[in-house]
Structure 1
């Protein structure tokens, strides 16, 4: 399942790159570009959910084994489990952020306030 999560994140990266505003792919159609970015965000959300499920399941097994044993041997939640939780949460957060931003851009009319440009470049200095 973690391999599936990595695969979904990889596909999400490729799809999200195509939907970013800084790329020249589908430059004329902003609505389609936002939909592609929304799709990439949903791939990231699915990837984060898969990673979170696997990490939580493994943690549950460790805790169940710990409570079954009567000896003084202790189990420690390792760094890899913590890294799995952090990676899953970052993937979820990034996917939600990408999805929300592209969904709000799809709903807006495209009336974005831009910085004023100079009519004579090279003469105005900051």
Structure 2
């Protein structure tokens, strides 16, 4: 029971609602937000493992790219779950607010919903960027960088002397 008293000493008691007595859309929104947290955690771990600067996984950059792409998929799933949960909850709040025959407590859209929409949008954008950045390219299409500067301000050639470096600059052009 949840009881309250007023200034005259009268007690008003009502049954305390259980978490399982909540409406179905609130329970579904909670489940979607828990799934969103799990997807975000998996996405964060996969992205950290898949980064090229990470020592986990060795020097296999193809595998690291695929792991980072899986992290992008997890971030997309996180954003979609969050967007569905927040939008569904906001739609029900709006529907109850404008219903003249609804006798329960009428809530309004608050800051939490705006934060949810912003975080869902950022998660979807981040997952999309991560997927697009990790798209597979064949190693034949990669052009090796022909020169690598050393610490003594000399330029060392990585290519064999018989190969010519295609360039738009003359011999006296400096960068």
Unpaired runs of 5+ in structure 1?
Answer: none
* SS of residue in 1 equivalent to 2:123: helix
State the Cα distance separating 1:108 from its structure 2 match. 4.3
Counterpart CA distance in 2 for 1:68 and 1:50 is 27
Equivalents in 2 of 1:81, 1:7: separation in Å?
19
Give TM-score scaled by structure 2 length: 0.61
| Matching residue of 1:117 | 148
Q: Displacement of 1:114 after TM fit?
A: 4.4
Which structure shows the higher strand fraction?
2
1:113, 1:95 → 2: CA distance?
29
Deviations 1:13-57 (A, max 9, x none): 001100011112223211111110010000000010000000000
Q: 2:47 aligns with which of 16, 31, 45?
A: 16
Normalising by structure 1, we get a TM-score of 0.83
Q: Which aligned pairs between 1:1-126 and structure 2 lie closer than 5 A?
A: 1-69=32-100, 76-103=108-135, 106-109=136-139, 111=142, 114=145, 116-119=147-150, 121-123=151-153
Structure 2 residues not aligned, in runs of 5+: 1-31, 155-175
Instruction: Count residues with an aligned counterpart.
Output: 120
Give the 3 Å change call, closer, same or farther, for CA 13–115 of structure 1 in structure 2. Answer: farther
Asked which structure has the greater RCO (Cα within 8 Å, sep 6+), the reply is 1
Greater per-residue helix proportion? 1
Q: For 1:46-72, what per-residue CA distance to the aligned partner results, in whole angstroms no more than 9, with x for missing partners? A: 0100000000000100110122037xx
